[in-house]
Amino acid sequence: MIGSRDWQKDSVWALLGLLVLLALPWFSPSRVVTDFIIRLCAMGLLATSLNMLVGYGGMVSFGHAMFFGSGAYVFSLMLQKASVSVPVALLSTIVFSALLAALIGAICVRLKGIYFSFLTLAFQMLLHSVIITWTSMTGGDQGLTGGIPRPVFLGIDLSQASQVYVFCCVLAVLSLLAMRLLMQSPFGYTLRMLRDNEDRAAYLGIDVWRVRLYAFILAGVFAGLGGVIMALFVSGAFPDFSYWTMSGEAVFMIMMGGIHVFIGPLLGAGLLQLFNDTVTRYTPYHGLALGIVILLFTLGFQRGITDVFKHWFKSSDTQGGR
């Protein structure tokens, strides 16, 4: 069980973070800031959910964006074609993401290493092909355009930009808090044990396949919620959301931010977004500039930013103890 003190501490930090996000529009009413935060909420959930597999489970997925894209499409289609309420569309997205992750994960988690990575990539490209070819449902390569209805629920009107911002921030913070509590629970520590020594875990009676499948499903659900936020931001869904480049960006985020500190992927998502927004203003060679930055992190730091600071603090504590 999670210690009550740890749960309370994490909840307080989550509440403080949410209050800061909600206060930002008062200090900076520019849409640039709020749009950046909404995109950060979406991409932060994608990166943090991927790190549940990579950092905590030792499973490097190259196709994690399939859940991000499917979440955006299911949420948008439920509102646009089924004309349901926002809570029903949100619940439908969660259920669909869980079922899709269970189906794919039941096959993928039986494999290890590069075989697992490339099989997830193969499933992602299969899903992307379905989105491209099923034109009558998804809009094909043009995406799901035309906007999505936003019926009022519980007094929340998502047709108002300010309320979209609040809704996305609340959804992101609650999702991040849930992931944090899960990773601090016995399940999270069991997942770490499988990462560090699978044979010992199996000897102790742990069902390796089942634990990894649960992690895969949870990661898929939270990535799908990131897709919901992105769908609200762009008022639709596009094939790029489930393309391999989106999964590559998620991997870059956790590489830049760090995999051994929970907020590392979130920091990496913010840095990559800031970098993209800045570089595209001054040069068309965005890919070249991004490659140089990734090389600096890979060859220079050899770990993400938060991992560097964590290593420094551990080193200083060790020297202080001497």
Based on its alpha-carbon atoms, the radius of gyration of the chain, rounded to whole angstroms, reads 20
**Do the beta carbons of residue 153 and residue 88 sit within 8 Å?**
no
- Give percent above pLDDT 70 in the chain: 94
Partners of 237 in beta bridges? 144
Supply angle C-alpha 297, 301, 304, rounded to 5: 65
Spatial distance between the Cα atoms of 174 and 216, rounded to a whole number of angstroms: 19
Partners of 156 in beta bridges? 153
* Statement: residue 320 has pLDDT above 70: no
* Residue 318 pLDDT class (50, 70, 90 cuts): low
> What interhelical angle do 161-183 and 31-54 show, nearest 10?
20
Q: What is the mean pLDDT of the chain?
A: 90
Of 13-27, 228-242, 279-293, the one with minimum mean pLDDT is 279-293
Spatial distance between the Cα atoms of 27 and 29, rounded to a whole number of angstroms: 6
The identity of residue 272, as a single letter, is: L
User: pLDDT tens across 115-171, in order?
Assistant: 999 999 999 999 999 999 999 999 999 999 888 999 999 889 999 999 999 999 999
* Residue 107 pLDDT class (50, 70, 90 cuts): very high
Residue range 220-225: average pLDDT? 98
Contacts of 190 (CB under 8 A, 6+ apart): 201, 206, 211
Q: Helix %, strand %, coil % for the chain, to 5?
A: 80, 0, 20
Residue closest to 63 by CA, chosen among 252, 217, 245, 210: 245
Domain parsing of the chain, residue ranges: 4-243
User: pLDDT tens across 156-197, in order?
Assistant: 999 999 999 999 999 999 999 999 999 999 999 999 999 999
Spatial distance between the Cα atoms of 187 and 237, rounded to a whole number of angstroms: 33
Count CB neighbours of 201 within 10 A.
Answer: 19
Spatial distance between the Cα atoms of 83 and 81, rounded to a whole number of angstroms: 6
DSSP, res 142: G
Prediction pTM value: 0.93
Partners of 153 in beta bridges? 156
* Residue 14 pLDDT class (50, 70, 90 cuts): very high
**Do the beta carbons of residue 93 and residue 227 sit within 8 Å?**
yes
* Statement: residue 3 has pLDDT above 80: no
Higher pLDDT, 87 or 296: 87
* Residue 281 pLDDT class (50, 70, 90 cuts): confident
Q: What is the pLDDT of residue 295?
A: 77
The identity of residue 53, as a single letter, is: L
C-alpha pair distances (Å), 74 with each of 139, 215, 244: 13, 22, 19
* Residue 4 pLDDT class (50, 70, 90 cuts): low
- Give percent above pLDDT 90 in the chain: 71
User: pLDDT tens across 21-71, in order?
Assistant: 999 988 887 888 999 999 999 999 999 999 999 999 999 999 999 999 999
**Do the beta carbons of residue 137 and residue 71 sit within 8 Å?**
no
Spatial distance between the Cα atoms of 160 and 68, rounded to a whole number of angstroms: 24
C-alpha pair distances (Å), 216 with each of 119, 213, 220: 13, 5, 6
* Statement: residue 2 has pLDDT above 70: no
Higher pLDDT, 107 or 314: 107
Specify which of 100-104, 110-114, 299-303 reaches the highest per-range mean pLDDT.
100-104
